[in-house]
A and B are shown apart, each in its own frame.
Chain A
Amino acid sequence: MKRITGIFVAAVMIIGIMVVGGCGGGGAKPQEQAAKKETVKVGVILPLTGSEAMFGAMEKNSMEMAYEELKAAGKTTVGGKEIELKFEDDQSKQDAAKAAAEKLINQDKVAMLSGGYSSANTNVIAGTAQSKGIPFLIVTGSADEITKQGWQWIFRGTAAPASKYTGALWDLMDKVIKPKSVALIYENTDFGTSSAKGFRKVCQDKGINIVFDQAYEKGAIDFKPMLANMKKTNPDVVFAVSYVMDASLITKQMKELDFNTKLFIGGAAGYTMPEFKENAGDASEYVASTTLWIPNVAWKGAADYFKKYKEKYGKEPDYHGAQAYATMYIIADALGRAKDFTPEGIRQALKSTDLMTIMGPIKFEDWEGYTNQDKPTTYVVQWQKGKLEVVWPEEAASAKLVFPVPNWKERK
């Protein structure tokens, strides 16, 4: 019995280590190439293993693709030095993100940091970068508070604060949808809670009745208990903040429950991805979503990026990839203008950024309590006949909004 107890203790410890310590592979690259030419190191922290690895891989690929393009144009040599990207894996976990940031700053002596996928990890990296006084340019992490702390070393260009993802949506709500009641569901992550908070506030200001408001644990199999509860409240519009696979399960299970609303709106993240359409199948039809970027947006280079990425990696990128791609351009631009490669020199260069990217114009401004935050342009898109169409703002629309959407049973 003693032996079993011993084993048991060991097992519990190991599980503890797995949860806390992470169990993905390390991500450091050998430093061999750095030897010859002097380099400016840029540390990039992305989830290359763990549950968010799919996005991390897309962002890494996009950054490398942008790097190659910049290199071909001779823009990776700044002030006689070559820009060198050093990727670190945050294993989709916060403690690993912290360790990666500290390693890059203390051991590799990077000039600046970039990356940051999930909001939770981005927050950790930002805290580390701020306390060490190293500029950190965020790629994706979008919880509001990250740029609301007055942290002068933290820059967010390609990602909007989560509560501002919905800019275009509110315009659309005011002019077309005019909902009386809405239901709100969101994953209980930093991003989800942040988006929900923003949404809730605007609803209150506009006097829209929130009839259902619930968080869920991401990675659940069965959403029906929540959806069945929500169905009883009979909302005009459902607003949901989810990552891609949760998104497809939710819409599929809504169809199974025969739960009809006038419009189902996703809050960025999952609902615009090609995987969403693949996995949700015909349940994805007429689902609308807010988004920061789609390939057929008007910005120069967006469509080219989409095409090139698809050819090179055999997969369709989404806005996460575009963020990483644009971020690489911002980095090269800022380092190219930096007076010197001290943290302060780079910070000033970043601050005076005014660059046109595939994510639109990027400027780091201080507004509404945000610091070094780009003012985002957002869109509302809708899946129509298996294609993602821009439906709002009207001047950028590629198709007309279908509203209210047909009931599940009326569709063929």
Chain B
Amino acid sequence: MSLFGQTVICGILLGGMYALIAIGMTLIMGVMKIINLAHGALVMVGMYITYVCYKSWGLDPYLGMLIAMPALFLIGCLIQKYMINRLVEVDSILPENQVLLTVGIMLVLTEVARLIFKSDYRSVTTGYSSSTFFVGDMSISVPMTVGFFIAMAFTYLLHLFLTRTDLGRSIRATAQDRNAAVYMGVNAPRVTVITFGIGSALAAAGGSLLLPLFYLWPDIGHLFTAKAFIITILGGMGSTMGAIFGGLTLGIAESLGATYISMGYKDVVGLVIFLFVLLFIPGGFKSLTKR
């Protein structure tokens, strides 16, 4: 029983952090209708910023996050303003060009990171990195728990922001129907810039929360892009709540798969769920609640 509990709790905690990364992606996807394949690379940049803060000034990763998030917000805004929005304006032959652009951005970010930091694995070892507490027989990692609660707090704040503020409402309006939003006086290009910024900042937050647990190298982005992509589809594109459910589902599924099937197949479990969702609920979890 304690094994089952341990498995589920680990899955939930990890899933919460996956969700935070995925929310950034789903937000961007909802508003811009494009898949941002540079998302994982943005997580990676956020992690490196946190890492540098830790190495140079001994700043705790949870505090480093407060530097990484604004920095990534800025980078995200700049990418949207000077790259993606330019491509939207020219009305290119293929709308897919925007997706291609994000692939290019991903490559540039990854290789720049490699240029600066080499391909070495890096990690942050803090005093609490491997501290745990026990609930019964279950050993629960402190940084994982902290990460989970911070992730949930950010999600809640984002929810408040989207539902209670004018800017948040404009973002949702743009996501629902861009043209209608423009007629109502929403400055759509500005909204997309801010959305991309927020999405990137959330990616950075997710990365920073994982840093004390995991390690870092320039190609780590692919891992997160893939996970965020799966979660976004699971939850339904553009849905914050969907992303949380998607993240938790993926986390728990991976964890249960690792315990009861085999750790070698843990990714398979997540991907099988992904396939079933695509086949039977193509709109993701979001579509279940809306009907």
Contacts and interface: CB of A to CB of B under 8 A. Distances in A.
Interface of A: 3-4, 6-8, 10-11, 14-15, 18, 23, 25, 49-51, 53-54, 56-57, 185, 188, 214-217, 219-226, 228-229, 232, 244-245, 248-249, 252-253, 255-258, 275, 278-279, 281, 283, 315
22 contacts: A10-B96, A14-B99, A14-B100, A15-B37, A25-B111, A49-B111, A53-B119, A53-B219, A54-B119, A57-B119, A214-B264, A216-B266, A217-B264, A225-B255, A229-B259, A245-B123, A245-B215, A257-B132, A278-B125, A281-B125, A283-B130, A315-B120
Given A11-B35, A225-B258, A225-B259, A217 B267 contact: yes
B35 A8 contact: yes
Interface string B208-227: 00100111011100110010
B6 A216 contact: no
Q: Main secondary structure on chain B at its contact with chain A?
A: helix
A54 B217 contact: yes
A10 B130 CA distance: 42
Q: Main secondary structure on chain A at its contact with chain B?
A: helix
B14 interface: yes
Contacts of B139: 224, 228, 256-258
| 3 closest residue pairs by CB, A with B | A53-B119, A216-B263, A10-B96
Contacts of A215: 262-264
Contact of A6 (B96, B131, B223): B96
Interface in B72-105: 94-96, 98-100, 103
Contacts of A214: 262-264
Interface string B104-120: 00110011001000111
Contacts of B265: 217
Contacts of A252: 129-130
B162 interface: no
Interface string B192-236: 000000000000000000100111011100110010010000000
B183 interface: no
A223 B29 CA distance: 32
A216 B255 contact: no
B10 interface: yes
B217 A226 contact: no
A228 B99 contact: no
A281 B130 contact: yes
Contacts of B106: 23
Residue among B96, B144, B213, B265 with the most chain A CB within 10 A? B96
Interface residues of B, number: 55
Given A15-B37, A256-B130, A7 B96 contact: yes
Contacts, number: 144
B243 to A, nearest CB: 17
Interface of B: 3, 6-7, 10, 14, 33-35, 37, 94-96, 98-100, 103, 106-107, 110-111, 114, 118-121, 123, 125, 129-132, 139, 141, 144, 210, 213-215, 217-219, 222-223, 226, 229, 255-256, 258-259, 262-267
Contacts of A56: 119
A214 B110 CA distance: 33
Given A255-B130, A258-B139, A15 B34 contact: no
Contact of A57 (B118, B129, B262): B118
A258 B134 CA distance: 10
A188 B263 CA distance: 9
B258 A279 contact: no
Given A23-B106, A25-B111, 14 more contacts: A7-B99, A23-B103, A49-B114, A54-B217, A221-B14, A222-B14, A225-B7, A225-B10, A226-B263, A228-B7, A228-B139, A252-B130, A256-B132, A256-B139
A279 B121 contact: yes
Nearest to A192: B264
Contacts of B6: 224-225, 228
Given A10-B99, A14-B37, A256-B139, A221 B214 contact: yes
Given A11-B35, A54-B217, A222-B14, A49 B119 contact: yes
Given A54-B118, A221-B214, A228 B123 contact: no
B126 to A, nearest CB: 10
Given A245-B123, A258-B139, A222 B255 contact: yes
Contacts of B100: 10, 14
Nearest to B229: A15
Contacts of A11: 35, 37, 96, 99
Given A7-B33, A53-B114, A217 B266 contact: yes
Given A14-B103, A51-B219, A279-B125, A216 B264 contact: yes
A23 B103 CA distance: 9
Nearest to A226: B263
B141 A256 contact: yes
Contact of B121 (A7, A54, A232): A54
Residue among B223, B256, B263 with the most chain A CB within 10 A? B263
Contacts of B121: 54, 244-245, 275, 279
B249 to A, nearest CB: 16
